[in-house]
Structure 1
Amino acid sequence: MIDKSLLIRLFSCFVLLSFITVIIVKNKEEESLNTALFKEKQNLKKSYSHSFKRLKNKVDLIFFNNLHDENIYTAFINKNKKKLFSYLKNDFFYLKSHGLKQLSFYTKENKLFFKMNKNIDSNSLDLIPFSLRKKELDFYELLKQNNVISFTKPIFNKELDFIGSLKLEFSLNSLIKDISEHSDFNTFFLLSKKSFNSEHFNKFLLNKNYFISSDNFTLKRYSLKNLKDIKKSYKHNIELDMKNKEEFSFIYSSSKVLNAAFFIPIKNINSYTDVYLFAFINKEKTIYNQISNNYFWILILVHFIYLFILFLIYKYFRMKKLKNSVSKKYEDLLLSIDKYVVMVHTDTKGIITYVSQAFCNICGYSKEELINRNINILRHPDVSPKFYEALWKQLHEKGYWEGEIKNLDKFANSYWVKGSIVSKYDSNNRLIGYISIRVSTTNSKQLKKINNLLKEDLSNKLNEIKMKDKDLLDNTKVALMSKVLDAVAHQWKTPISNISINLANLKGKIRTKEINKKDIYILSENIEKELKTLSISLNEFKSFFPKNSYGDKYDINNVIEEAVSSLKEDISRLNTTVSLSSKENLLCYGIHNEFKHIFINLLKYSLNKVEVHKIKNPTIDISVIEDNNEIIIKYCDNISVENRVIKKIFNEEYIKNFSQEDINIYITKLLIEKSGASVWFEKNNNGLVFYIKLVSEDRRKKER
């Protein structure tokens, strides 16, 4: 049976360990994800820094290779715009293919003197502090037409006097392209301005105070779905963090894939423009998913290990409990063996090494008295030494012996044991002794002796009983005859009395000589009638005690039909309906005539009541039921009669007061009981119901 308490404790332990493990693993997972996120952010910064340096190096190359020319400087000093344009025209259109948007010259007063691309308005240099004008500068600008990054180079003459500034403006897309080429980041620049309105820029979805370029290059990489996933995943306020110029990054989930988003503020010389580098990773397989999957499988593995350990613990306690149970059963078994099994162990020389308590109880010795003593201590002097020689010989040859031995107990009393002796071997299959298991047969031998004596005595008693039983049977018949004679005596008295009266009348008339032929004829008829009644009674009485009281086998339905047929005239005269309900071939054992007489008496009793009480539409229903090898006959009529009348009829104390019909019913009762059957009656609303339970067993077999 499973230990529910142990299972509950182990399950509780598993739940607790699982809860703690989930917390620890989730913390470790978060640490690993944050570490990976930090590394990605550092990579983004490095990528941006390297791309910016490459752009700045490009600016230096352009400045020294293409713009650091004496003719250009002379035209700028002489303020000759046409010559300046002619000198710069070819180089400018070539440099535009490398991301250059604008090339502008400023006077030493920081006033715009000349710009190559007239479609782009660029005057932000006026806002640069005077102390910074003679230095190389780079800053981001948000223009009406485009967002650019500007590089300013101071111009000096041969005497190294400051004569003005050269401003080179590059598209931010060129910088973004360079970052994308050297990394997996999808990068955007977000710029903020207090007053800004241009059709070339869109408000940033995650922060409406910042703008993002609406050019085709940006729109192709700009995904609203990703931005919505990013916004949904970030637990803080993006607008507030960007307003505080904070650098932040986080992991977001898009289509069940973990990616990273980064917001890095960019230092800019222009205080009125805030620049953020916004980047996100959008790949189907990322390191974050790998980390998450690894920790998921770690969690599964740890839970599996927990389950395995708990299973081992459960098995350990179950085995321990089972071991204790087996040990307890083994101890109980050993105690039972010691208490009830007659067992003795000896070595090869017959020295006793172990005895059970049951053995001690038979022989009278204690265990201490028998251990280390020879088994010969129990030998009986009546047993021949040759018996033991044959015993040991069979043990040595076959390894076992079976038989019965007569022994001597501690108090010199003889006792018999029946058992077997088998060889005992060690782990190396070497003979080390013998084991004998015995059963005491002393009691059975004594019982056998007593049984023989009892058999003899019982045989004598049975012969006496048979003689007495025959006498008893005869006495029973005599008693029954006495009852029947008492019952029919009254039945005989009436016709005999009537005959005596008629004879007295005859004598009287003979004396007075008043007799005539008519009187003689009437008297003769009366006497004949009474003699006929007496003859019928005598004929019925003759069948009460046949030679074989068990009778023969008969069909119940046939007997009932014969009884009904014998009273057919009376039944028809009284307009009585008699019905029989029964299965076919219902056989019973007894006297055929007795059973027929029983039913004739019952039918006569009912018909007499019909005639006396003038019953209209009388019915007699007879049902025969077979149940569990018993046959019950239900005799029912609709003729009302008082219960007390039947009770008196069934009681022999009232036999002297019986009418002729009552005598017939009483005789019927005696006949039923004589056959070994039983009868009882009950009164219902319609009339009287008799129940007769017949003997359905062939008692002749028992007699044979």
Structure 2
Amino acid sequence: MPMEKIADYKYALDESSIIAITDQKGIINYVNDNFCNISKYTAEELIGQDHRIINSGFHSKAFIKDLWKTIANGNVWKGELKNKAKDGSTYWVDTTIVPFLDEKNKPYQYVAIRSDITDRKKGEEELKKILKEISDYKYALDESAIVAITDQKGIITHVNDNFCKISKYSTEELIGQDHRIINSGYHSQEFIKELWKTIAHGNVWKGELKNKAKDGSTYWVDTTIVPFLNQDGKPYQYVAIRSDITERKEGEEQIKANNIKAIEHAQILELKNTQLVDFCNIVSHNLRAPLINIAMLVDFVEQSEDEEEKSEALAKIKPVVNHLMDVFNELVESIQVKQDTEVDVDTIILEDCLAKILRGFETQIEEYDAQIHIDLSEANSIYFPPKYIDSILSNLISNALKYKSPHRNPVIHIKTQKTEQDSVILSVADNGLGIDLVMHKDQIFKIRKTFHKHPDAKGFGLFMTKTQVEAMNGKIWAESEPGKGTTFFIEFKKLQS
């Protein structure tokens, strides 16, 4: 090849690439201007130095060893290297190292031809970070929410595990199906039409939906549907993000039912008040004449001096009094309304009461291999409404079994203790999941307050227990530690038997 052409190739290479030449030991004996510019060293600072002067320490020893093994065997090495400049900054280069061989086929120098790929690598790193962040968001969403993706026609293309759990369908049963597979029929056609109109126009829809699971049961979800738009601004898919609000909606329904009952009770009370007023009016009207008659006869007896006249008057008083009693009894009997305003209270033998209640939990106790320890040595009886104590003990024992630890068999201790004020304190202690009282503080007995995920958790048991205890002027409190268990204490005030 003519020397002029070789010079032209070298010039083109020097202009376009980062060039360095080292001997077989890696000692630099040539660098071009591009090498100096990117490494921020002068040629004088580089010539005679070991090529490790620009080693960033990013690559492993095994990586560098493999590189040297390749070129030392006379083979070309290609790859990406992260180097360090004089000022400590780093840069990436796409590198080709060519061994120049002597007559014995042994390398006597290496020519490294590089191109700067720092910006590309930064872009790749940024992309990795973005993808990682997106992956983290997706993971967080999948863990916390019920997620489904459909195409623009409503055909399901993706569901997460939470969607399968609440709908009771498998992924295979859902993918490719129309989203109407979970339509409960609860919402009107106008409601559904308005929903589709909103998202079809590229707008986010938010609301509450009642859906139907595979087994026919229904559930409520708080829903946000986000349209994903193509370059023309038209939706090509919809992402529906939901959260389960079934318990809240059931609570609202219960409140509605309770309100209806309250209205009914108010109406009954109003009727009773009306009856009471009517009763008073009737009493006033029907008893006035007999009472006036008695008063007149008494006055006559007091004023009369004739004994025979007094005897006649006294004889007339008795039938009038008898008539008065008959009228009164007839009035009471005619408008008396049967009411159960007072709960029945009785002496409760706790040993018998517990035996009866525990029989109802025999299956669970055997299944969980639970141990029940009872110590009623200080007090075996209380004076309390039977239906209340049955409810209280059932709730506390049920909770102790329901919220058992997955790491150990349940152990329940039921104990009584007498106080100086002659009250009885009953404690029910378990070794279950426990409650974080620092977090929940005074909310432990609030209605619809739950502390652990369980299909039967409704948040009514402790509320009802507290209501029943306080209705009889008692006290209830708890001590608990997460992961170790909970102890409930109930103080039964001494009631007059």
TM-score between both structures, scaled by the size of structure 1: 0.22
Q: Of Structure 1 and Structure 2, which has the larger fraction of its residues in helix?
A: 1
With structure 2 as the length reference, what TM-score do the two structures score? 0.30
